[in-house]
């Protein structure tokens, strides 16, 4: 199949349901400034006259602003939390105004490596290394542009939950409730190791060329891209997102159809990972994957703040911490530790029961919805 060099949304593509805000220059934590930043976002519901009914929803690594909604021009996949937001849903848009930005460094409308730099060429390898705190700095600027002084709640899982925690520490007066789901207070050595392998898989693809494929794609959208490296990174990531138990029950040691694994064929579980690797290359950008994964490795809520305990002891928001019982990437013990530092009554995280591992926070919508409803009732 003829694939574009990058799955990034580009100027001239259908905007879909995206809106865009130019937030100007973003001062970065470690690497100077990033000029001419645009943040793409989507909204649902209406901001009330008091401006106090806004809810911020933050996506994970390969998510985007399209939290709910169908496949349509500009949106190659359906919403990643379909059923959670809308009239009568857990985040009821008859009551709440919901905002979901595409993260800084992403590839679905916000400024990232595939976006044009001031000279008109893609940022590519010139895009600076950014941290989770830089991403929240950009989201604070978005809130300013939207006239939102205080979020009723900030909600997110995985990489989105990292930003939820940073919102609570960086802008404590601007968020009344937080729901960090399936995350830890810091990127652990185990997570960094796994994520660094994914970065190397992309960088070692001969077509990556330190992001140079984006310069070629600027002239020819179907120039060769680092599809093999991105697909390999996704295979490894997706393995970590699901549980050992699910793989055993769902695939066992079965071959894929009529293929013979001992004669060059695949096991069924290999085919499953191949499918998800291939699928991502059509809707994501490899350089964004590198930038965002590097930002995830930077995650440490206690860095330069006296440690995790000191940083989280200053959080003023109402808190709901939740984790998935079968999560091997962000084990439940990490959420219990968060609950302890955030002084959650009982010092235990809420439990999402799921056989699906880390991805349980995306799949178990009835359980997640009930938890979020409880938090919103506390912050209304």
Answer whether residue 165 is part of any domain. Answer: yes
Answer whether residue 70 is part of any domain. Answer: yes
**Torsions phi, psi for 238 (to 5 deg):** -65, -35
Helix-strand-coil percent breakdown of the chain, rounded to 5?
A: 40, 15, 45
Predicted pLDDT at 296: 98
Predicted pLDDT at 1: 56
Answer whether residue 93 is part of any domain. Answer: yes
Contact residues for 17 (Cβ-Cβ < 8 A; gap 6+): 42, 66, 69, 72, 74, 75
Answer whether residue 267 is part of any domain. Answer: no
- Pairing of the two strands 177-181 and 153-157: parallel
Predicted pLDDT at 380: 84
- Pairing of the two strands 33-44 and 19-27: antiparallel
Answer whether residue 307 is part of any domain. Answer: yes
Q: Are 266 and 228 in contact (CB under 8 A)?
A: no
Provide the whole-model pTM. Answer: 0.97
Nearest to 53 by CA among 124, 152, 177: 152
- CA–CA distance, 337 with 16 (Å, rounded to integer): 40
Give the total number of structural domains in the chain: 1
CATH code, domain with 166: 3.40.50.1820
Answer whether residue 322 is part of any domain. Answer: yes
Per-residue pLDDT of the chain (380 residues; tens, 9 = 90+): 578 999 999 999 999 999 999 999 999 999 999 999 999 999 999 999 999 999 999 999 999 999 999 999 999 999 999 999 999 999 999 999 999 999 999 999 999 999 999 999 999 999 999 999 999 999 999 999 999 999 999 999 999 999 999 999 999 999 999 999 999 999 999 999 999 999 999 999 999 999 999 999 988 999 999 999 999 999 999 999 999 999 999 999 999 999 999 999 999 999 999 999 999 999 999 999 999 999 999 999 999 999 999 999 989 999 999 999 999 999 999 999 999 999 998 989 999 999 999 999 999 999 999 999 999 999 98
Give me the active site residues, please. Answer: 158, 327, 358
Nearest to 21 by CA among 157, 166, 147, 155: 147
Tell me the residue range of the domain where 153 lies: 19-187+300-379
Q: How far is CA 237 from the centre of its chain?
A: 13
Answer whether residue 126 is part of any domain. Answer: yes
Answer whether residue 197 is part of any domain. Answer: no
- CA–CA distance, 268 with 249 (Å, rounded to integer): 12
């Amino acid at each position: 199949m003829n694939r574009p060099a990058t799955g990034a949304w580009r100027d001239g593509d259908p905007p879909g349901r995206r809106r865009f805000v130019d937030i100007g220059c973003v001062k970065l934590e470690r690497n100077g400034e990033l000029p001419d930043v645009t943040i793409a976002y989507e909204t649902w519901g209406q901001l009330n006259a008091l401006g106090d009914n806004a809810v911020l929803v933050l996506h994970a690594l390969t998510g985007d602003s399209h939290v709910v909604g169908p496949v349509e021009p500009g949106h190659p996949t359906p919403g990643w939390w379909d059923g959670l937001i809308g009239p009568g849903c857990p985040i009821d848009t008859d009551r709440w105004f919901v905002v979901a930005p595409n993260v800084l460094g992403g590839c679905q409308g916000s400024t990232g490596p595939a976006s044009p730099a001031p000279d008109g060429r893609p940022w590519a390898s010139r895009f600076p290394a950014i941290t989770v705190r830089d991403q929240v700095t950009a989201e604070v600027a978005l809130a300013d542009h939207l006239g939102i002084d205080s979020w009723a709640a900030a909600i997110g899982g995985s990489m989105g939950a990292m930003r939820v925690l940073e919102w609570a520490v960086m802008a404590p007066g601007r968020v009344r409730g937080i729901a960090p789901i399936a995350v830890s207070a810091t990127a652990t050595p185990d997570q960094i190791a796994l994520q660094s392998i994914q970065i190397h898989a992309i960088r070692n693809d001969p077509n990556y060329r330190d992001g140079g494929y984006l310069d070629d794609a600027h002239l020819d959208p179907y120039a060769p891209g680092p599809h093999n490296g991105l697909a390999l990174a996704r295979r490894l990531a997706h393995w970590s997102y699901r549980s050992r138990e699910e793989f055993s029950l769902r695939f066992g040691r079965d071959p894929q159809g009529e293929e013979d694994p001992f004669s060059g064929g695949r096991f069924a579980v290999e085919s499953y990972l191949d499918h998800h690797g291939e699928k991502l290359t059509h809707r994501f950008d490899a350089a964004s994957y590198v930038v965002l994964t590097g930002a995830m490795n930077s995650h440490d809520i206690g860095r330069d703040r006296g440690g995790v305990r000191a940083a989280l002891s200053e959080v003023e928001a109402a808190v709901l911490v939740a984790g998935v019982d079968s999560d091997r990437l962000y084990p439940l013990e990490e959420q219990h530790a968060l609950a302890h530092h955030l002084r959650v009554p009982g010092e235990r995280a809420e439990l999402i029961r799921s056989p699906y591992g880390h991805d349980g926070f995306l799949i178990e919508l009835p359980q997640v919805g009930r938890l979020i409803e409880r938090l919103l009732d506390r912050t209304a």
